[in-house]
């Protein structure tokens, strides 16, 4: 009979603990803390994410029922509802934000050789944002509209492994295009964006850093065609042209040539008017690249369905951001475990198994290997693209 660690402890063993402590020390997270350290707070919040807890009372009741096992899970301090609430209120959320970046760096190295379907050597990113609605009377700091509150989660998703490489949490009123000012462009990388990020001045900044972009053009944009290339209309292409901005300020903000590709998406019946500074790839590959942007939409849908980022355990800005960053760290941690253990399971299936085996004392591979079923929920074409092995 196995007498070792619980499944939860084995999951947490994949965390780089020394690097986590450096993040805590950077912001003096444990200053004058006698019990319930930042790491114990992280463990409790990660437990809540892995087991789909609904509230602080829910977390407290579950942990209290298993209090004899908490010490072996790494939770030495007293766990109460007020203790967790105070920690979420007062511990700097930047601790967990910095720690997520460490996990992301580790995960991207593991998934660097994965292929997302187009067999390109370049790193391809999909950039988008999603709204998380909040009640304005409960979260007065998150003003979005006159009578509603919200925050916005901006994500730059690396399509190799669907790992977020950049995440920013802002007020709901912040427009998506402003996030381009915070990105550090990567030379040679391809950035796929919707029309909300269309801004000639910012796109030219990407071009100057030797980065490539594929963006959906706004309907009102005025362009002057220089010449056209032949296209195969049987695959959905309508035109492949070299153009320049026609308006005075647009031409001033982007003085170089652009490539315009028009594509008819037969699956959804959409007509796509794409602009890019990538002049060498085939036009059909550019169109397929833009269709891969849907992966970031699926990422938002997945984390909203399977992680606790829509209902919050605290009402302050610090508590909300802490919960979101820890939720993202759990997502990246599960992706790391999947890759390091070479599991042929979807992230959804792994999370479901973890949710009912956290307190079991059994090898983690045994818990994950004894599954003689296929995940039927992710059998649809859309989710398979995102989470199949």
pLDDT of amino acid 380: 46
Q: Is the pLDDT of residue 386 over 50?
A: no
Q: What local confidence, expressed as pLDDT, does residue 17 receive?
A: 94
Answer yes or no: is 228 within a domain.
Answer: yes
Q: Looking at the domain assignment, is residue 106 inside a domain?
A: no
Task: Give the residue from 292, 322, 346 where a domain finishes.
Answer: 292
The predicted model gives 40-49 an average pLDDT of: 94
**Tokens (6 digits) for 79:** 């766990």
Percent of the chain with pLDDT over 90: 73
Is the predicted pLDDT of residue 74 greater than 90, yes or no? no
Spell out the residues 6+ positions from residue 86 whose beta carbon is closer than 8 angstroms to its own.
none
Q: Are residues 285 and 217 in the same domain?
A: yes
Whether residue 378 lies inside any domain: the answer is yes
Q: Examine the fold and report which residue of 292, 320, 355 is the final residue of a domain before the chain moves on.
A: 292
Tens of pLDDT, residues 119-136: 888 899 999 999 999 999
pLDDT band at 379 (very low <50, low <70, confident <90, very high): very low
Position 99 scores a pLDDT of: 97
206 and 266, same structural domain? yes
254 in the same domain as 200: yes
Flag whether pLDDT at 251 surpasses 60.
yes
Q: Does the residue 277 lie in any domain?
A: yes
pLDDT on residue 119? 80
d(CA 122, CA 212): 10
Number of domains in the chain: 2
Using one digit for the tens of pLDDT, what is the confidence trace for 143-178?
Answer: 998 889 999 999 999 998 899 999 999 999 999 999
Selected residue with higher pLDDT from 376 and 84:
84
Residues whose CB is less than 8 angstroms from the CB of residue 355 and which lie 6 or more positions away in sequence, other chains included: 50, 51, 52
Residue 217 resides in a domain: yes
Q: Does 229 reside within a domain?
A: yes
3-state secondary structure of 337: helix
Q: Is pLDDT of 32 > 70?
A: yes
Q: How far is CA 245 from CA 118, 201, 221, 232, 312, in A?
A: 30, 12, 8, 26, 46
110 vs 75, residue with greater confidence = 110
Q: Does position 1 have pLDDT exceeding 60, yes or no?
A: no
Confidence class of residue 192 from pLDDT cuts 50, 70 and 90?
very high
Residues 209 and 280 occupy one common structural domain: yes
State the pTM of this model.
0.89
Model pLDDT, residue 2: 53
Is residue 79 in a domain? yes
Token output for 166: 């950049």
Q: Is the pLDDT of residue 70 over 70?
A: yes
Cα separations in angstroms, 118 against 127, 155, 232: 18, 21, 19
Containing structural domain, residue 350: 7-92+335-387
344 and 264 belong to one structural domain: no
Residues 252, 340 within the same domain: no
pLDDT one-digit tens code per residue, 257-309:
999 999 988 877 788 999 999 999 999 999 999 999 999 999 999 999 999 99
Q: Are residues 199 and 286 in the same domain?
A: yes
Confidence check: pLDDT of 227 > 80 = yes
Residue 288 sits in the same domain as residue 368: no
Mean pLDDT value of segment 326-337? 96
- The predicted pLDDT at position 389 comes to 42
Structure tokens at 226: 């220089």
Among 292, 327, 361, which residue terminates a domain? 292
Q: How far apart are the first and last CA of the chain?
A: 31
In a domain, 207, yes or no: yes
| 164's tokens | 């977020």
Q: What own/partner pairs with CB < 8 Å and gap ≥ 24 does 347-356 have?
A: 347/302, 347/306, 347/387, 348/302, 348/306, 348/375, 348/377, 348/378, 348/383, 348/387, 349/375, 349/378, 351/50, 351/306, 354/7, 354/11, 354/50, 355/50, 355/51, 355/52
Phi-psi region of 177 (alpha: psi -120 to 50; beta: other; left: phi over 0): alpha
Q: What is the mean pLDDT of the chain?
A: 90
Mean pLDDT of 58-81: 85
Q: Which helix (H) or strand (E) holds 350?
A: helix 347-357
- Quick one: CA dihedral 27, 59, 43, 341, positive or negative? negative
Residues 267 and 209 grouped into a single domain: yes
Q: How many whole angstroms separate alpha carbon 371 and alpha carbon 353?
A: 9
| CA distances in angstroms from 249 to 46, 113, 221, listed in the order given | 50, 42, 12
């Amino acid at each position: 009979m196995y007498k070792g660690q619980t499944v939860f402890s084995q999951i947490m063993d994949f965390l780089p603990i020394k690097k986590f402590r450096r993040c805590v020390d950077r912001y003096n997270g444990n200053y004058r803390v006698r019990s319930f350290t930042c790491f114990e707070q992280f463990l409790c919040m990660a437990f809540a994410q892995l087991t789909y807890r609904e509230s602080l009372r829910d977390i407290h009741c579950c942990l209290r029922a298993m209090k004899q096992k908490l010490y072996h899970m790494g939770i030495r301090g007293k766990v109460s509802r007020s203790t967790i609430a105070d920690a979420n209120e007062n511990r700097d959320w930047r601790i967990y934000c910095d720690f997520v970046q460490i996990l992301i760096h580790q995960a991207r190295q593991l998934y660097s050789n994965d292929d997302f379907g187009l067999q390109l050597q370049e790193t391809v990113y999909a950039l988008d944002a999603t709204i998380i609605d909040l009640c304005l009377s409960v979260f007065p700091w998150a003003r979005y509209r006159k009578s509603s509150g919200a925050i916005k989660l901006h994500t730059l998703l690396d399509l190799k492994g669907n790992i977020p490489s950049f995440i920013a949490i802002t007020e709901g009123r912040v427009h998506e295009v402003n996030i381009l000012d915070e990105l550090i462009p990567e030379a040679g990388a391809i950035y796929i964006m919707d029309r909300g990020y269309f801004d000639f001045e910012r796109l030219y900044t990407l071009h100057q850093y030797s980065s490539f972009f594929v963006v959906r053009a706004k309907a009102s944009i005025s362009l002057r065609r220089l010449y056209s290339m032949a296209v195969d209309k049987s695959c959905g292409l309508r035109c492949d042209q070299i153009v320049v901005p026609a308006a005075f300020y647009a031409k001033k903000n982007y003085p170089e040539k652009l490539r315009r590709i028009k594509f008819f998406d037969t699956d959804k019946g959409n007509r796509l008017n794409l602009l890019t500074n990538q002049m060498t790839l085939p036009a059909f590959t550019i169109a397929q690249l833009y269709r891969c942007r849907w992966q970031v939409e699926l990422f938002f849908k997945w984390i909203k369905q399977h992680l606790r980022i829509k209902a919050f355990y605290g009402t302050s800005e610090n508590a909300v951001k802490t919960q979101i960053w820890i939720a993202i760290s759990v997502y990246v941690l599960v992706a790391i475990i999947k890759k390091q253990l070479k599991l042929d399971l979807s992230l959804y299936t792994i999370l479901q198994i973890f949710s009912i085996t956290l307190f079991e004392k059994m090898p983690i591979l045994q818990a994950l290997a004894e599954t003689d079923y296929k995940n039927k929920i992710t059998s649809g074409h859309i989710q398979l693209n995102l989470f199949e092995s």
